Structure 1
């Protein structure tokens, strides 16, 4: 796991020596482990003998994956919302106190957006993260709100009192509109998707240019959330 976790969204190809340094393994151990993992298909080598995650690992990860189930349920409704809004449309889940993005639909001329599939953002900064935090366990909220929080942009909410008010508003209104929270030129909008009445399983969001009207996006997201929730219920045996 230490070898595999050296890979990231911005570090997709490495040498065995680089993996060893990042995994804090002796060089000989790292080279031997990498060779073993390549042999069983979880890693692959490119033409320069650098190493990347293998297709076999991707195949295994998708089998019975919770994320795959969510994506299958949400994708038709995300596609409809993205076609109408023509901006980034995203699906995120709560993972280890962060928002993990499991799907993203975009267009070439859509506005600025730093998120990507399999990328993460802090819960307090992104619109999706705020929705997941607002509906998350009380223990999680206290964990996040009682530690110093980094401002991703000049508009990121970081004060505990400010965040508590914001989370209460999200629970009351069922939506968050977060202008400039991640990037000053963008507005994130997110809504919860409930598999059961009191259980939020994922968050749907769009990223708009900062000066774009938000009303149509809120309506599209709410419709997409309703459709996704119904599709998830239909998947149950």
Structure 2
């Protein structure tokens, strides 16, 4: 996941007799990886390459370098090596802690998740909204009831576990295909999870095909509401005088009654 560190070993290897002559080595990193240490190599941030030269390689030996890389929020996780015409490539699969659990309201529902949740970098939110997590979580539910005479449209309870504590000030937002952000006011956040409901072909469903639901969401801090100053109305001076007089008279009558 983002922020993790991995180790990459790359370089020319000689499986035969000793070889002489300069070998130019270039490792190109995809956008999902960034170097932390570059021992014995030159890093070019524009071309995203680590380069070094090898003068000679002894028989049955190599000139492998070991690089420490950081996994970024988004982008492919791959690195390619070129050594004087010979090439190689290393690939990794990005994993995320996010988990999506659905609970249909109908106990006999045939709804099911299609594939794995889609986790990707969140778009820039509107002014005033601050991302609580760098990613959006999207999912697709298929095979729900399509028959309007039975249980269509179905409503599902969706729980997303993000794998770490959620800021207590965060809220859940739906992100439309057009890039619009809308607050899901009924979402409940507790610890690592956020739970809310979605109805087939309802406002939160991005796929208007009966029986299929799709809903990308993001956790973010809502805008701070402007503070309101309560105006206390003032009474005219003559009315204040009458009130004071009335209170004084009341006290006087009580004294006489005593």
More helix per residue? 1
TM-score (norm 2): 0.27
Higher radius of gyration, 1 or 2: 2
**TM-score after normalising by structure 1:** 0.29
